[in-house]
Amino acid sequence: MADSGPALVQVEGLRKAYRDAGVETPVLTGTSFALGRGETVSMVGSSGAGKSTLLSILAGLMLPDSGEVRFDGEALTGKGEAERATLRARRIGVVLQRDNLIPFLTAAENVELASELAYGDRRADLARQLLAELGLAGRADDLPRRLSGGEAQRAAIAVALVNKPDLLLADEVTGELDSESARRVVELILAASAERGLTVLLVTHSPELARLAQRRLRVANGEVLEEADAEVIER
């Protein structure tokens, strides 16, 4: 369950626009929201609504034009590139739709690499333990090409979890999976949240999967809205 303490992520007045050949296209138009500690939150929205831009800012990959992201009380948007990279490596796990794994490294090596990069420590035992917890005990020495789509995404979750992050950003992680594999991947992410107190932001196109989270958000017209409020506006 979500902790009742201060939010892990606090977003205030976030604005971001893309500029191309003198034309400005606003993507985020001053949105504010928070993610509580240990909370699981889904986020839906049409393609181009700004979900990926928002995730890039939350991951510290991109800076907003204005507004602020506070992570555990500190202004992420006020940190330099190197500080944001360290924070991302140690405290934020990221899983994407595809290509999360390096193709010439085994599943276990991929997981070990994440801990090596964050802490200079390979944590081989932890890597195998995590893979086993995700149902991949017999797949640790397999290359990504040998894994099914669902197995590869579960291995990617192990990569994202090995550094014991506070926040997991999952961007369309089930976009290329069948419905059964997709549900299993999302359930594993939610179970990881329950066990570890991990805050999860799950971006998905699937309303069924979105409903598995404790709280639902929708991105529309550059704003992040609570899903219940968005439904009222649509009516």
Residues paired with residue 33 on neighbouring β-strands, in sequence order? 11
105 is a site residue for other proteins (CB under 8 A): yes
CA 221 to chain centre: 21
Q: Which stretch binds other proteins (CB under 8 A): 107-115, 188-196, 200-208, 213-221?
A: 107-115
Q: Which two tokens stand for residue 69?
A: 């992201």
Nearer CB in complex with other proteins: 102/233: 102
Candidate list 4, 21, 47, 104; residue touching other proteins; CB under 8 A: 104
Sequence-ordered list of residues with C-beta below 8 angstroms from that of 193, at least 6 positions apart, any chain: 38, 40, 168, 199, 200
Candidate list 88, 128, 139, 218; residue touching other proteins; CB under 8 A: 88
Q: How far apart are CA 136 and CA 126, in angstroms?
A: 13
Nearer CB in complex with other proteins: 83/99: 99
Interface of this chain with other proteins, residues 34 to 63, rule: CB under 8 A:
59, 61
Q: Which two tokens stand for residue 34?
A: 């928070």
State the nearest-atom distance from the C-beta of 195 to other proteins, in Å: 24
Q: How many residues bind other proteins (CB under 8 A)?
A: 22
Sequence-ordered list of residues with C-beta below 8 angstroms from that of 197, at least 6 positions apart, any chain: 3, 37, 38
145 is a site residue for other proteins (CB under 8 A): yes
